[in-house]
Structure 1
Amino acid sequence: MFVKPLVIITASLALLGAGLPGATASTGGSLEQRAPERAASIPESEVQPYLDAMTDEGIPGVVAHVRSGEDSISLSSGAADLAQAEAMTPGHKVRVGSYTKTFTATMLLQLVDEGSVSLEDSVEKWLPGLVPGGENIKLRQLLNHTSGLFDYTYDQAVMAPYLNPDGTFTVSNHYSSPTELVNAATSHAPNFTPGSDWSYSNTNYILAGLVLEAATGRTYAQELHARIIGPLNLKGTQFPEKRTSIQEPTAHGYQLYGDDSGPMDVTRMSPSFSWAAGGLTSTVEDMSRFGAALVGGELLSEARLAEMKTVVSAPEDGLAYGLGLTRIDVCGVTLWGHGGDVPGYHSNSFVSGDGKIQISMVATAGLDTWNAEQGANWSSAMHAAICP
């Protein structure tokens, strides 16, 4: 059975919020920011036991970066490479999946700040003839998933090169161009009239990446390095558009299918099917650096950041989604961030609205192959990092 590889919203935030005292997904209105009354230091004992429990339960490796005020720690558990018995460390590079969307949205909003693009521009203006009805879809609707466009990851022909006959993921070097992904999406009828509903669609962010290229005349990777990776000195972050390998040292990603062969190593899967929707590789410390810079106003004007935080209700998931940012409320703390899922990896990165509390975590196992206990330990680790 086909499993959607890039959906992050329901699974990631449900794991954080479900069954935890004071943890809810925020769905509308503004929330008062109330910093938890906790010690400035972060005892390793608060989070590490849950990471160890996850690896004890079969997740190959887990890493976390936790910050409270000026204090921070980086933690790890398990193996980065099961075949080589290599220990997992926070410096290992991982695929971060849909956390890429926050980078993509940030760059497009930088163009708005510069006056070269408007969120009210139509898709047709920047990508003429590519999307049927594109004159009725605004760039804002791409970023907050209200365009109604079909998600190409549900197209069987698109995903077939990456799947075994039984629907499990396999290592593949197949290349799908962004335009091919869009064409596959638009071969299906839209889910709804633009602006009338909400539905998470990776197609939106493939188009956002193409608009970025059309507006700047440069590639997505060039803009990413010039606008974010370079200025923030994110040495562990790359965009391997066509390369199946991940920058060394590599944390291998696995699918836990539970058969006799053990965890399936899917590290060298082509990232092309995710592109501007989920193609980044990074480290937990780089993820936190980016999130802190974004919420702290280093990357966008105050007006653009406010627009990024203007959320719409996501009825199908009970969430609040802005422009490449999700909002949740845990222990009375409003958190902003995103999660990510690609085969072999699951990630979350959230920072409080005042920038004082932060948690970034990555596990090297595809979320669709987790069990309930692994998920409970993941949410407990995040909860321990955020709450008093």
Structure 2
Amino acid sequence: MHRRIGRAAALVATATAAATLTTAVPAVAGPASAHSDRRLLQQAVDDLAGYGITGVQALIRDGRRTAEARAGVADITTNRPVPKNGYFRMGSNTKTFTSVILLQLVGEGRLRLDDTVERWLPGVVTGNGNDGAAITVRQLLRHESGLANYTDYLALQTPEDFEAHRYDHWEDADLVRLALAHPPLFAPGTDWSYSNTNYTVAGMIIERVTGKPWHAHLRQRILQPAGMTQTSFPGDDPDLPDPHAQAYESFPPDVPRYDATRWNTTAAGAAGGLVTTPTDLSLFWQALRQGRLLRPAEFREMHRTVQISENGSGYGLGVFRIPSECGELWGHDGGTPGMYTMDAVTPDGDRSVIISISSAPTDPANASARATQLINDALCQAR
């Protein structure tokens, strides 16, 4: 399940493939248009459904113009189609939202990126070699803290465990304690390792600084400035808003299609708990890249990355730098039980692509390569 809640490895693989992939579909001739974008998307989602994904939806935003496509089914028992602009759990895209809120507080002078975790959460990160006094806020946001990943230890690895615990409520402090039962992976600032624990701690710092939970800041600080109306943190509510596709988790080798749609997102929280739609998520990336959510100084800090692979992909403060055949792109990916998201945006924010799938593919290598190809085609051919 640690691979599903906050699936960093998927985007690292995407970035690697993006730098070398040869486009296999006909190039779009001339400037991108709504028609060419729809054609490109429809071919891609049809291909993805052919790799064993039950349902997939994708969107390209170009300025104010959008193109959408969908393929597969929303429900394998009724075969109803994937809904247009359906709701889904965005998983670790949530990290970018959490980072934006925290960076806004930095811009307001309410804390500093060089503050230690101990400064704001005294006595919380300690034990088994873990030391909050040695970890900075910046290291949390850039996954350089060395803290173990708590989702490695959630009891959600089998159908039986998932059924027993899918509705459990989790406090942030409980999730952090799961990680602190294990020694750090490395000394803070000496290496990089993706850990959902970092953003759970970041959410706790936001609450300590402001007196409000991290998600209480969403509307004023992000949703309203970006014009978003379909994004929320459901907390203990296990249901997705309508319309949505069912989420099918894979528990190899025996249960390839387990309905995991109903799930308590407090297990993901500030690291991966938000629900959205393709339209709303594209609005977020556009607003972020166009400077409507962060001041210039904090925007620059967000995009100062540490290299995480040999091909040049990097991670900043809640964002991946994605090398592609047309240069540098930005984005994130995410996964929760049965739902996976990939997205990317051009540096100017004018053009973005969102991909949401509602089951694990039966052919993950080819599905990942095809999704990567879509990102390249959507964001590079029009430039």
Q: Same fold (TM over 0.5)?
A: yes
1:75 aligns with 2:69: yes
- Tell me the distance in 1 between the aligned counterparts of 2:341 and 2:138: 25
Q: Is the 8 A contact 2:53 2:358 kept in 1?
A: yes
Q: Give the SS at the match of 1:327.
A: strand
1:1-388 superposed matches below 5 A: 4-15=3-14, 17-18=16-17, 21=20, 38-42=30-34, 43=36, 44-132=38-126, 133-155=131-153, 159-160=154-155, 162-164=156-158, 172-257=166-251, 263-314=257-308, 319-366=313-360, 370-388=363-381
* Cα displacement string for residues 170-192 of structure 1 (whole angstroms, at most 9, x for unaligned residues): 87111221100111111111111
- Tell me the distance in 1 between the aligned counterparts of 2:182 and 2:231: 34
- Tell me the distance in 1 between the aligned counterparts of 2:254 and 2:159: 18
- Tell me the distance in 1 between the aligned counterparts of 2:366 and 2:251: 16
Change in CA separation of 1:127 and 1:260 when aligned onto 2, cut-off 3 Å? closer
Structure 1 counterpart of 2:147, one-letter code? L
Change in CA separation of 1:166 and 1:225 when aligned onto 2, cut-off 3 Å? same
Q: How many Å apart are 1:359 and its aligned residue? A: 0.8
Structure 2 counterpart of 1:9, one-letter code? A
* Total equivalences in the alignment: 370
| Structure 2 spans left out of the alignment, 5+ residues | 23-27
| Structure 1 spans left out of the alignment, 5+ residues | 24-35
Q: Is the 8 A contact 1:40 1:71 kept in 2?
A: no
Q: Is the 8 A contact 2:227 2:283 kept in 1?
A: no
Change in CA separation of 1:261 and 1:112 when aligned onto 2, cut-off 3 Å? closer
Change in CA separation of 1:262 and 1:197 when aligned onto 2, cut-off 3 Å? closer
Q: Is the 8 A contact 2:91 2:336 kept in 1?
A: yes
TM-score by length of 2: 0.89
* Cα displacement string for residues 104-130 of structure 1 (whole angstroms, at most 9, x for unaligned residues): 000000001111111111111111110
Q: How many Å apart are 1:298 and its aligned residue? A: 0.3
| Structure 1 stretches of at least 4 aligned residues deviating more than 6 Å after TM superposition | 165-171, 258-261
Aligned-CA RMSD value:
2.5
Change in CA separation of 1:261 and 1:10 when aligned onto 2, cut-off 3 Å? closer
Change in CA separation of 1:256 and 1:90 when aligned onto 2, cut-off 3 Å? same
- Tell me the distance in 2 between the aligned counterparts of 1:4 and 1:164: 13
Structure 1 counterpart of 2:247, one-letter code? G
Q: How many Å apart are 1:52 and its aligned residue? A: 0.9
Q: How many Å apart are 1:88 and its aligned residue? A: 1.2
Q: How many Å apart are 1:337 and its aligned residue? A: 1.1
TM-score by length of 1: 0.88
Q: How many Å apart are 1:248 and its aligned residue? A: 1.6
* Cα displacement string for residues 339-381 of structure 1 (whole angstroms, at most 9, x for unaligned residues): 00111111112111122321111111136x6533333332222
